[in-house]
Structure 1
Amino acid sequence: MYCVSYGSAFAGGSLTVPPSKSAAIRALLCGALSRCTSGRECVIENLYPSEDITATERAAGILCAGGGGEVDCGESGSLLRFIIPIAAALGGRWRFTGRGRLPQRPLGVYAELLPAHGVAFKNGTGGLGLPLEIEGRLAPGRFCLPGNISSQFVTGLLMALPLLEGDSELVLTSPLESIGYVDMTLEVLRDFGVRVDPIAGGWHVPGGQRYERPGYRVEGDWSQAAFFLNMAALSPIGAVVRLRGLRPDSLQGDRACVEVFGRFGLDIGWEGEELVARNKSAREPFGGLVGQELDVSNITDMVPAAAVCAALCRGETRFENGGRLRLKESDRLSAMCRAINALGGQAAEEGDTLVIRGVERLEGGRAQGCNDHRVVMALAGAGLRSKAPVEVTEAYSINKTYPTFFEEYRRLGGIANVLQLG
């Protein structure tokens, strides 16, 4: 676990945000498909060596070998849901494994779609877990799925269908959630020379296409930026945080963190290529922060950071339409509710809504990290406005996406003592 001190040690400063995990996984798989379909290598630049990215690099190598194989997806839900239809499109016999909560994360959409298009699907758990085996070659046609499930299923199919011999249609039977992640996928596909045409309720995808691009640079990660905006908001001395490496025009859904934390009361804006954040009312009651109502259906990854900020705002904050948060590395609605209450805050679940009533200062104590990197990183900021130290379990979970997070936190003046318990 780790211990974050309370008080005014957080001085702020500048840091370069790590590259986007979401963009990197897409680029690595498209780079592999460039080698498979056009025989051209694609150099992917600005990668960050997290566990999810390492797992994707291994998987990309297996894809390029062709003919099937066993893919260990680690704990990456994105990798698993992207690569299943891609492997099916390439054909052969494949086996997928994973660990942590990944084996329990739903795959039922593929259990219905893939057999209907010529691919055997076997995992013995009704399409709900790992290990999974598939065999055969995906046939083109019409693929229908709900839009209110994880956008990862949509992305996986959008990446796979261009590889098929004939044209296909991907049709959504309900409104699409996490639109930003699908927009990101479409942008990366265009960058690799792949054509996808919008139609009413979905996309027409011509078959027989090739992926091709000599190089690709991964953009900065807006999801990770949210943790540092939370710290800027909660700094009791109004520390200035300067974030580099972010695209103002990014299609990442979590770019909305600028608006979300701005509505909490954080002063935030661009100065050249830096995003600069400071709470100019830090010494006022509640740090001058106020609650708000949020529809989180398109910004699920930034909810943990925003929830910690909400716990220290004046008034009530409601995180609505958060059902998909229950299907992440942890049930993040419950995880954040329990953690905030354990630290002396006031939080409650109302169905798939998280309701937080702010307090001026947390009491401190121990909260469970739930083996969830985003829960742990969010709670690091809680110590900035706590009467006593905040302890969070399972600090090692940050290795999934951001192994140097605590180093960056300490470099900005935060105090994080990471303890290895025997």
Structure 2
Amino acid sequence: MKIEVLNTKLEGKVKIPPSKSMAHRGIICASLSSGVSVIDNIDYSDDINATIDAMVSLGAVIDKNEDKLTITGAFHKDAKRSAARTIDCNESGSTLRFLVPISLLFDGMTKFIGRGNLGKRPLDTYYNIFKAQGIKYNAVDNKLNLMVKGRIKAGEFVIPGNISSQFITGLLFTLPLLEGDSKIIISTELESKGYIDLTLACMKDFGIDIENRDYREFIIKGGQSYNSRNYRVEGDYSQGAFYLSANALGSKVELLDLREDSLQGDKEVIDILERMGAKFEFKDSITIKENCKLKSTLIDASQCPDIIPVISLVAALSKGRTEIINAGRLRIKECDRLKAVATELKKLGAKIIEKEEGLIIDGVEGLEGGIEVWSWKDHRIAMTLAIAATRCKKPIIIKDYDCVAKSYPSFFEDYKMLGGKVNECSMGE
């Protein structure tokens, strides 16, 4: 599917979708309880639907009602589970890595399948645990077709800090429900600490206590249980980053439903854009204070990888040279995001040098457009290109734009509501 996006500044109010990160966590915590919870402010993106279906396959009962879920936990006295189950993760890395250890709380075989680049995302951290604990598994290289059977045991888990925090979150969810006490030891400096903060905060809301020793050790008492409760999902800074960046580039969007005191690591987008010259104001919403004269900065991607595509666009239109470092993990997301950003923004007239672990970006005055670009079937690339159109001299055509359904299904509806001009294109060549 293709869409033509014209050069138009965005203006107006937009409700930012609920945090995908917090929705995953809230659904999982509620589903691991023995009671009934209500999770409010849900956006049924492909990733969230994958986690909902996964928890149902493990025995939770989940009823959807508009933007609200009623969840009867998998440990409810009337819960029913099958001896074998298949979890379709679609393209959701969070669903996969969170659910692998959780599945080992239950008897029987669990098969994990998915599509896109999900099979290329490494799972060696879990394979090493399986081997050490005698858990049976069968995996296929470069394709997600993983089968696991066995029960995970409490103990000491040594995990490198420079891998995805999703592995650590998966273990954090699981270990408190075991009989014995456990410890997670982080053997190198931990990246993406913000995501671990979100996990610990959500688990605490559901009654689970974990001792965090400066992100180097996590001390986990066994024999705990998740309490059912009512829970509202806050707005998502990784989605808000697109409109915040549009504002830095000349639009005037008022962003609703983002918490000023949020623990989300992607809230760093505010700090980065303000270092580059933007000025934002928090009241009941977030607004841009004034037109910005943007300048370059050094950006460390280690704690906020998801906002790097759109921040790269802002850097491409800022005075001077911006360097993005510690971004190697972007190569194993839904696509190779470093290569995708460099390739597509250069088509539009940006000056970008791609490095193994990051990007070097020399700012230009404006972008040309008048060309077809490709989303690489990656939601964050598609949305970045739509924001790029607000600074292109000519319209652009985005191929495979419908991949936004992965995290923000209503993105282009909101874009049009804010004054963006888009036209769906015929696929005929």
Q: TM-score, normalised by structure 2?
A: 0.91
- In 2, distance between residues paired with 1:140 and 1:313? 51
Deviation of 1:129 (Å): 4.4
Query: Match for 2:118 among 77, 102, 125?
Result: 102
Give the match for residue 246 of structure 1: 258
Deviation of 1:350 (Å): 2.2
- Structure 1 SS opposite 2:389: helix
Give the match for residue 122 of structure 1: 138
Give the match for residue 396 of structure 1: 402
Deviation of 1:91 (Å): 3.4
Give the match for residue 268 of structure 1: 280
- Structure 1 SS opposite 2:86: strand
Give the match for residue 75 of structure 2: none
- In 2, distance between residues paired with 1:119 and 1:247? 42
Deviation of 1:85 (Å): 0.3
Unaligned residue ranges in structure 2 (runs of 5+): 60-79
Deviation of 1:117 (Å): 2.2
Identity, in percent, stands at 41
Query: Match for 1:42 among 37, 44, 48?
Result: 37
Give the match for residue 4 of structure 1: 5
CA contact (8 A) 2:5 2:422 kept: yes
Give the match for residue 277 of structure 1: 288
In structure 2, relative to structure 1, the CA distance for the partners of 1:199 and 1:231 (3 Å cut) is closer
Give the match for residue 57 of structure 2: 62
Deviation of 1:361 (Å): 1.1
Deviation of 1:420 (Å): 4.9
- In 2, distance between residues paired with 1:47 and 1:131? 29
CA contact (8 A) 1:232 1:278 kept: no
- In 1, distance between residues paired with 2:289 and 2:337? 27
- In 1, distance between residues paired with 2:93 and 2:156? 25
- In 1, distance between residues paired with 2:426 and 2:89? 26
Give the match for residue 207 of structure 1: 222
Deviation of 1:81 (Å): 0.2
Matched, 1:232 2:247: yes
In structure 2, relative to structure 1, the CA distance for the partners of 1:399 and 1:420 (3 Å cut) is farther
Structure with more helix by fraction: 1
Give the match for residue 311 of structure 2: 306
- Structure 2 SS opposite 1:130: strand
Give the match for residue 369 of structure 1: 375
Letter in 2 for 1:274: S
CA contact (8 A) 1:68 1:87 kept: no
CA contact (8 A) 1:106 1:129 kept: no
CA contact (8 A) 1:90 1:163 kept: no
Give the match for residue 188 of structure 1: 202
Q: CA RMSD in A?
A: 1.4
CA contact (8 A) 1:311 1:346 kept: yes
- Cα displacement string for residues 60-113 of structure 1 (whole angstroms, at most 9, x for unaligned residues): 111124344110011100010000000112332100000111111111111111
In structure 2, relative to structure 1, the CA distance for the partners of 1:138 and 1:413 (3 Å cut) is same
Q: TM-score, normalised by structure 1?
A: 0.93
Moved over 3 A (4+): 65-68
In structure 2, relative to structure 1, the CA distance for the partners of 1:79 and 1:338 (3 Å cut) is same
Letter in 2 for 1:384: T
Shifted more, 194-203 versus 79-88: the winner is 194-203
CA contact (8 A) 2:10 2:415 kept: no
Letter in 2 for 1:361: G
Provide the aligned length of Structure 1 versus Structure 2.
Answer: 404
Unaligned residue ranges in structure 1 (runs of 5+): 282-287
CA contact (8 A) 1:144 1:170 kept: yes
Give the match for residue 329 of structure 2: 324
- Structure 1 SS opposite 2:140: coil
Matched, 1:28 2:36: no
In structure 2, relative to structure 1, the CA distance for the partners of 1:352 and 1:11 (3 Å cut) is closer
Deviation of 1:240 (Å): 2.2
Matched, 1:175 2:189: yes
Give the match for residue 156 of structure 1: 170
